[in-house]
């Protein structure tokens, strides 16, 4: 008998699901083995006073995450693995990022003028590295001057020069070179934020756009999360976004000027990704997403738009380091992404420019997922 295409599809899905579950089960077992035999390098930096030793973490995993009466496959595709522990590394443990070289850095005149950020001043927090640096470059290529804000001012200075040099190399005939400056701030500290905003205004005279990329993730099972680190995570990801956004909104309102902001959330603010446990990060990013929506409503009257971008798994110095310490994780992650690969920072240049620009004039309070389809399956 001929099968209809719908029936074919459901048979295909069923066999694919069985295959995936087998892979996931094998991967999870391998991960547990790796964790038992090798302590991740980040875990060795965990303060002894606040975190349990790794072996005790594993004991919790066995006790809490797996019921011995369950069939072997039960939940393997949809649970966190409590044995994965990653602490955010120090700056000297991550390699520097580099501006994008080539096509993405060149300006092409044949595009909708609404996408241009010509004559605007943008601020990107966490702009010295990773996603923030490349989104900042996207703003510069689109015509904006840029203030890079980071807790690591030296790296921000190096990258400010690199962005200007890259722009000149990619656009030798441009009639205006962008002005890119570097500024220190700890985004979680209100005084540091106020000082930084004053410094940016002194350097650029105005601010029109904000991108909040300063943030970090860590992996501990919730019952073992050191409380000081949990508070720090919320302070940088949530308070940091709030403090910078309100400071820039105050400035825009005083100027009676329109402006737009993009908060960098994460797909983890909408789904609980597996297998790494990260409850505080997930909830912090959910807060960032809803903060964008709430402020969009509160500031709509002032012509200030606020949107959120929720990236999926992107290859940066940080994720590269996590993956080099947990090699099987990449296979697990990419098996769950419909596009079958992690994103590159470059994939955020267009989305952030669109949302900041006048092309998105009627878009506010939105959450744009840039995740290769992860969250729609």
Residue 241 interacting with ligand NAD (CB under 6 A): no
- Contact letters for ligand NAD, residues 145-184 (x by CB under 6 A): -----xxx--------------------------------
Instruction: Give DSSP secondary structure letters for 115-147.
Output: G--TT-EEEEETTTSHHHHHHHHHHHHTT-EEE
Interface pick for ligand NAD out of 130, 138, 280, 372 (rule CB under 6 A): 130
Residue 270 interacting with ligand NAD (CB under 6 A): no
Residue 309 interacting with ligand NAD (CB under 6 A): no
- Tell me, letter by letter, the H, E, C secondary structure of 269-297: HCCCCCCCCCHHHHHHHHHHHHHHHHHHH
Interface pick for ligand NAD out of 43, 123, 139, 314 (rule CB under 6 A): 314
Question: Across the chain, where does the E strand assignment appear?
Answer: 121-125, 145-150, 180-184, 209-212, 259-264, 304-311, 367-370
Residue 129 interacting with ligand NAD (CB under 6 A): yes
**How many Cα atoms sit within 13 Å of 47 on the Cβ side?**
7
What b/e readout covers 228-262, taking b as 16+ CB neighbours within 10 angstroms? ebbebbbbbbbbbbbbbbebbbebbeeeeeebbbb
Residue 313 interacting with ligand NAD (CB under 6 A): yes
Residue 186 interacting with ligand NAD (CB under 6 A): yes
Residue 273 interacting with ligand NAD (CB under 6 A): no
Question: Residues binding ligand NAD: what is the number (CB under 6 A)?
Answer: 30
CB 339 within 8 A of CB 313: no
CB 216 within 8 A of CB 189: no
Given the residues 88, 220, 281, 313, the one annotated as active site: 281
Residue 207 interacting with ligand NAD (CB under 6 A): no
127 or 143, CB closer to ligand NAD? 127
Residue 136 interacting with ligand NAD (CB under 6 A): no
Given the residues 35, 97, 285, 321, the one annotated as active site: 285
Q: Which two tokens stand for residue 314?
A: 């992107």
Residue 218 interacting with ligand NAD (CB under 6 A): no
CB 369 within 8 A of CB 310: yes
Measure the CA–CA gap between 366 and 296, rounded to whole angstroms.
9
Q: Give min distance, CB of 13 to ligand NAD, in A.
A: 28
Interface pick for ligand NAD out of 43, 84, 131, 296 (rule CB under 6 A): 131
In the region spanning residues 29 to 58, those forming contacts with ligand NAD, defined by CB under 6 A, are: none
Q: Which CA distances in Å does 145 have to 97, 307, 336?
A: 20, 21, 38
Cα-based angle 245, 149, 123 (whole degrees, multiple of 5): 50
57 or 125, CB closer to ligand NAD? 125
- Active-site residue flag, 260: no
- Active-site residue flag, 161: no
| Site for ligand NAD, rule CB under 6 A | 125-126, 128-132, 150-152, 185-188, 213-217, 236, 240, 264, 266, 311, 313-314, 316-319
């Amino acid at each position: 008998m001929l099968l209809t295409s719908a029936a074919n599809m459901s048979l295909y899905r069923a066999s694919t699901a069985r295959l995936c579950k087998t892979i996931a089960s094998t991967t999870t077992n391998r991960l547990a083995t790796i964790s038992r035999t090798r302590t991740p390098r980040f875990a060795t930096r965990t303060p002894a006073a606040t975190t349990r030793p790794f072996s005790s973490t594993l004991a919790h995993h066995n006790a809490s995450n797996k019921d011995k009466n369950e069939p072997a496959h039960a939940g393997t595709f949809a649970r966190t693995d409590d044995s994965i522990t990653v602490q955010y590394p120090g700056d000297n443990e991550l390699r520097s990022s580099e501006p994008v070289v080539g096509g993405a850095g060149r300006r092409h005149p044949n595009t909708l003028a609404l996408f241009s950020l010509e004559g605007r001043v943008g601020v990107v927090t966490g702009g010295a590295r990773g996603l923030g640096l490349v989104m900042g470059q996207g703003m510069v290529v689109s015509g904006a001057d840029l203030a890079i804000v980071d807790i690591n001012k030296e790296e921000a200075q190096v990258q400010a020069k690199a962005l200007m040099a890259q722009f000149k190399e990619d656009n030798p005939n441009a009639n205006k070179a962008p002005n890119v400056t570097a500024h220190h701030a700890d985004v979680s500290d209100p005084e540091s934020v106020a000082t930084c905003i004053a410094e940016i205004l002194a350097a650029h005279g105005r601010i029109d756009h904000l991108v909040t990329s300063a943030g970090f993730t860590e992996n501990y099972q919730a019952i073992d999360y050191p409380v000081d680190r949990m508070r720090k995570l919320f302070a940088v990801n949530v308070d940091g976004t709030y403090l910078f956004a309100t400071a820039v909104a105050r400035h825009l309102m005083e100027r009676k000027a329109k402006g737009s902001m993009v908060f960098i959330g994460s797909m983890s603010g909408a789904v609980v990704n597996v297998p790494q446990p990260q409850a505080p990060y997930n909830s912090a990013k959910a807060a960032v997403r809803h903060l964008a929506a709430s402020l969009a409503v509160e500031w709509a009257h002032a012509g200030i738009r606020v949107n959120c971008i929720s990236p999926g798994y992107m290859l940066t110095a940080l994720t590269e380091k996590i993956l080099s310490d947990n090699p099987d994780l990449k296979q697990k992650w990419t098996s769950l992404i419909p596009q079958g690969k992690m994103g590159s920072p470059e994939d955020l240049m267009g989305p952030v420019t669109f949302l900041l620009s006048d092309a998105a004039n009627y878009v506010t309070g939105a959450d744009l997922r840039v995740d290769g389809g992860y969250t729609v399956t």
